[in-house]
Structure 1
Amino acid sequence: MKRVTGIGGIFFKCKDPQKMNEWYKTHLGINVSPYGAQFHWKQQIESDENGYTLWSPFPDTTKYFEPSSREFMINYTVENLVALVEELKKEGVEIVDEIAVYEYGKFVHIRDCEGNKIELWEPAK
């Protein structure tokens, strides 16, 4: 079974996300939205499936990264989130929450061996 298939997003804390978005847009040309910026790519060579990696600043007061105290969180794409979560449970990995389903995919959060919160995302087809 495949596990991680790519990086779905990089999220980090900052004092002023709007100011950060504007700085990156002005100085580095990153086209930002309220959710950050998407960097599009193809799922595989010779594939029609598109994917993207999300770059997103969060307010430094966000609780979204908890229970981790780190300033960042990485989102990894996966192929079969339900099956992967079952395997991770068997391996003793801490599952932070239940799988959430949205129109753009399924999500769950886990913690690594140093307590960093990690987001796993199975993109919607």
Structure 2
Amino acid sequence: MAVTGLGGLFFRAKDPDALTAWYQKHFGMGGHGWWFQDAGPTVFAPFREASDYFEADKAFMINLRIDDMAAMTAQLESAGIEVIRKEEWNEGDGAYGQFARVHDPEGNAIELWEPPAVLPEE
């Protein structure tokens, strides 16, 4: 018996319907249907409680694996969504890929991750 993948992400929202519509519009996910993902890496990593990698008042951060950072960030910016980029997120000359961040209407961080063609060995 083994875990075969992430089955879902469930979290509380002040306005679940509006937030679902926002995720559907900008990322093509959400709603009450299934979201079939492409095969690929998923990182499962608890952070120290005192981490400043994302907002201290939030218990989680969503990380979405994407295939074209430039196109995705351009699409989000054209929709009026602020895209945050920090060089330190792309440490090691991009060995772990490229990262950017946006926030949903309720302030939840969404990290965009374009993995490198070959992931580094651990």
After TM superposition, the score normalised by the length of structure 2 is: 0.56
Identity among equivalent positions (%) equals: 36
Q: Which runs of 5+ in 1 are unaligned?
A: 1-6, 11-42, 45-50
Q: How does 1:42-53 map to 2 (within 5 A)?
A: 43-44=38-39, 51-53=40-42
Quick check: 1:104–1:124 contact (8 Å CA) kept in 2? Answer: yes
Does 2:52 align with 1:63?
yes
Please list every run of at least 4 consecutive aligned residues from structure 1 whose deviation after the TM superposition is greater than 6 angstroms.
none
Q: Relative contact order: is structure 1 or structure 2 higher (C-alpha 8 Å, sep ≥ 6)? A: 1
Pick the structure with more helix per residue: 2
Which of 80, 85, 93 does residue 68 from structure 2 map onto? Answer: 80
Residue number in structure 1 paired with 2:82:
94
Decide whether aligned partners of structure 1 residues 52 and 73 sit closer, same or farther in structure 2, where only a CA change above 3 A counts: same
Query: In structure 2, the residue corresponding to 1:114 is in which secondary structure?
Result: coil
Quick check: 1:96–1:111 contact (8 Å CA) kept in 2? Answer: no
Aligned residues: CA RMSD: 2.5
> Partners in 1 of 2:79 and 2:53 — Cα distance?
25
Does 2:98 align with 1:106?
yes
1:58-89 CA deviation, whole Å, 9 max, x = no partner?
111111113x7211011110110111101101
> Partners in 1 of 2:59 and 2:108 — Cα distance?
10
Residue number in structure 2 paired with 1:18:
none
Q: Which runs of 5+ in 2 are unaligned?
A: 1-5, 10-37, 118-122
Does 2:102 align with 1:118?
no
Pick the structure with more strand per residue: 1
Residue number in structure 1 paired with 2:31:
none
After TM superposition, the score normalised by the length of structure 1 is: 0.55
